[in-house]
Every structure is written in structure tokens, then in C-alpha cells.
Amino acid sequence: MTFLTGWGRTAPTPATLVRPRTVEDLAALVAEAPTRGVIARGLGRAYGDAAQNAGGTVVDVTAMPDRWTLDPATGVVTASAGMSLDALMRALVPLGWFVPVTPGTRYVTVGGAVAADVHGKNHHLDSSLGAHLRSLTLVTADGTVRVLTPDDDLFWATVGGMGLTGLVAEASFACVPIETSRVSVDVERTRDLDHTLEVMAATDDRYRYTVAWIDLLARGPRMGRSVLTRGDHARRDELPAGADPLAFAPASRLAAPPWAPNGLLNRLTVRAFNEAWYAKSRERRVVQHLAPFFHPLDSVAGWNRVYGSRGFVQYQFVVPSGEEATLRRIVSRLSGRGVVSFLTVLKRFGAGTPGMLSFPMPGWTLALDIPAGQDGLAGMLREFDGWVATAGGRLYLAKDSRMRADLLPAMYPRLDEWRKIRDSVDPTGVFRSDLARRLDL
């Protein structure tokens, strides 16, 4: 047995970890599934317990060989499920292509990105990964290998389905043509939360990528002050003479210590960082490499260790457009309580996908990284859960580690539809996870 956690490093549970090499191996594992079931795991970047399976089998798909093909006429790439977005970008960017959607880290697998229907800084214009998928290869509970397209209900039960409909073996999706491996970025500071929302709503459509970093410890008239970064893929004529336009070789420049004391990220240290970051982020236009713009934390290997042995909770929710009052209420409570969140980011979502358990919807999403163990944190987040559900919003299952099962139907109104499809292809519950048990999925 191997003890596994999510990226937040909370609630470890034991499982049998297996590393198949072929799709045939996947089918055999499914056929021999133990009583506690099977769940896939990629690079372990789900923050909570989505890729854990206490007492059961966890399938490490990263042991399967990386395979990918690109149709240069259409930009459609087909990649094996265990291939990381990092490896895929290193292959595609020098050829003038970029993935259609990337979350805040390159270190997620293709299969994991499908299971979470990942979103990025371009959701307000380009939606989530599911909108760009052309087909999926799925190993279902009876060991059958099925190729699915967006015309199949099982396709949309799998996109965002947290690995509970089968084992994704391969995915095809349309990529974005690029001239360079850089991003032209506009940086702007805002005074407070209302100013942030106003500027984002008025200008987001001018940029393909946009995100706001919020100083959560700012109070009073400065509450919700932010740094906006908005950009698009840079053109060749924006690069200095002699620059290699499609060079892409990001590296981790630092490594978090193998051990860090609990409480290293506290109000004093985070307030100092916030003040310095806000002060240096004056209005300007810069040209950045892809990696620091999209994946700044990837430059620090093992950055989750900085939170200490207790780990951290990432809390991410979305509320629909028109429910900005709920967002303000949550930010106000967090600010007033002085809750420490090293990373607090706000994005505006556009249209979602037909994925029945897909997280995004038109509105506002806020994500926070909160060190575990802060006084009153559990009760406060439970209260937020209720506010979000009442507003017609939801929590992100790929980030969740603590939500109550009774809130799930309100947050995901197509849950029964998803369950019906899942039960039709997996009537005995072969595919299980700690997340599924906790939320009665």
C-alpha cells in the first residue's frame, strides 16, 4: 500500500498503486478491479482527494509512454492520457502551436485535464478544454475501449467527470497557432474590488488572457485591490532583433525546501509580500515568455511544501453573473478576518461546456490557497459553501477537499443526469475515489 494525498497534502489515504504501460494493461486492470474499485492518477495536481482511493487501486497513467501526433493542417493534436502538458508544450510550441487551454501549472496530464475539464485565463473567450476536444478514447468498466465524440452523452459525462466514468487513454483537441513563445502583457493596478470588477468587465474581451491577483489582506477602502495582467500571444515584430521566436525551454529555477515549518506563511510574511507585489506592479506593457505568464509557480519545484506539514486548502468557487454581491461578501469576510491566502486570483468565466459536472459557468471565479489549521477556517468555509450554493454557484471538484455531499445537487443541477449515464456504463461501481465516496457520487 502507498499513502497518497492531493497537491494540498492533506488527508493521506493508502491504496495499491499500479503503473500500466499499455491500453491493454488498463483494460486488464479494470477487469480485475478490487472491491474498493479503481481510479486514475496523473501527476497528483488535484488539490483534494479526487485521485485517491482508500483501500482500492490507483492507476498511475504517467508510466505509459508519451505518444502524440499533430495534424499541421488543422492544428488537432492527439495525445496519450499520461502525457503532461509540459511535455506537450515542449513539442508543440517550437512548431508554432499552443494548447487551447492551460491551467496554472503545466504539470498536469492530458487525462487529468479532461477529467477536470480544466480552464485557464482565457475562459471568458475560449471556454474550457471540453470546448476544444474532438474525441476521447475511454476504457469503460467492462474493459471495452471506446472512442467517443461530442455527439456521445458519455463523452460529456467524462469531460469534468473526475475519472468516474472510465480510464481516459487518449484525447484529441484543437490547438492555437502562435507566432512566438511570448505573451504581450498589459499590467494595471486597481483601487478596490469594485474597481477590479468594473475594469475586468469592461476590458476582458479585448484580451485573450486575463486574471486578477487580489491583495486579500487589504482592508477598508482598499479591500480587494488587485493587479490585473491581461495579454495575448505576441507577434514576431514585438520581439527584439535576433530573438528565437519559438524558443521554449522552461526550467525550475528554485526548489522549495524538503521541510518547512508550519506557519511560515502567516499574516506578517504574506502582508509584506502583498505590499511589495502591489508596489512594483505599476501600469506597463511587457513581453513575457509563456512559462512565467501562465505558470509562475512551476518555477519553484515542490512549492506546496512551503505550507508545512499541515498542508493547505485551495478553495475555488464560481458565482453567476449578477451575483457579484456574494463575491463581495466573501472577500469582505476574508479580508475582515485577516485570512492568510498566499495566492488569491479572480477570473471572469464565459460560456461553459455541456459537461454535466464541468465547473465553469458565466460569472466570476475566485481561487484561494489557504494554509490549513487557521482558526475558524472550517466553519467559515462551510458558511461560504452555503452562500455560493444559494447564489446558484458551485465549488470546483478538482480543488475540493472538504465540501458536504448535501450541497452537490444544488451546485451541479445535472448531477442526476450524470449519475444515470455513469450507472449505465459502470453499474457495479468499478471507478471510485475518496472524492466520490465523500460526495456520494
Q: How confident is the model at residue 264 (pLDDT cuts 50, 70, 90)?
A: confident
Paired residues of 139 in beta bridges:
145, 167
Q: How confident is the model at residue 107 (pLDDT cuts 50, 70, 90)?
A: very high
In the predicted model, is pLDDT for residue 179 greater than 90? yes
How confident is the model over 368-416, as pLDDT tens digits? Answer: 999 998 889 999 999 999 999 999 999 999 999 999 999 999 999 999 9
Q: How confident is the model at residue 263 (pLDDT cuts 50, 70, 90)?
A: confident
In the predicted model, is pLDDT for residue 141 greater than 80? yes
In the predicted model, is pLDDT for residue 22 greater than 80? yes
pLDDT at 225: 96
pLDDT at 374: 86
pLDDT at 110: 98
What's the whole-number mean pLDDT along residues 126-140?
Answer: 98
In the predicted model, is pLDDT for residue 251 greater than 90? no
In the predicted model, is pLDDT for residue 78 greater than 90? yes
Counting residues of the chain whose pLDDT is more than 70, the rounded percentage is 100
3-state secondary structure the chain: CEEECCCCCCCCEEEEEECCCCHHHHHHHHHCCCCCCEEEECCCCCCCCCCCCCCCEEEEHHHCCCCEEEECCCCEEEEECCCEHHHHHHHHHHHCEECCCCCCCCCCEHHHHHHHCCCCCCHHHHCCHHHHEEEEEEECCCCCEEEECCCCHHHHHHCCCCCCCCEEEEEEEECEECCCCEEEEEEEEECCHHHHHHHHHHHHHHCCEEEEEECCCCCHHHCCCEEEEEEEECCHHHCCCCCCCCCCCCCCCEECCCCCCCCCCCHHHHHHHHHHHHHHCCCEEEEEEHHHHHCHHHHEECHHHHHCCCCEEEEEEEEECCCHHHHHHHHHHHHHHCCCCCEEEEEEECCCCCCCCCCCCCEEEEEEEEECCCCCHHHHHHHHHHHHHHCCCEECCCCCCCCCHHHHHHHCCCHHHHHHHHHHHCCCCCECCHHHHHCCC
What's the whole-number mean pLDDT along residues 291-318?
Answer: 93
pTM of the model: 0.96
How confident is the model over 342-359, as pLDDT tens digits? Answer: 899 999 999 999 999 999
pLDDT at 243: 92
What's the whole-number mean pLDDT along residues 251-263?
Answer: 81
pLDDT at 259: 76
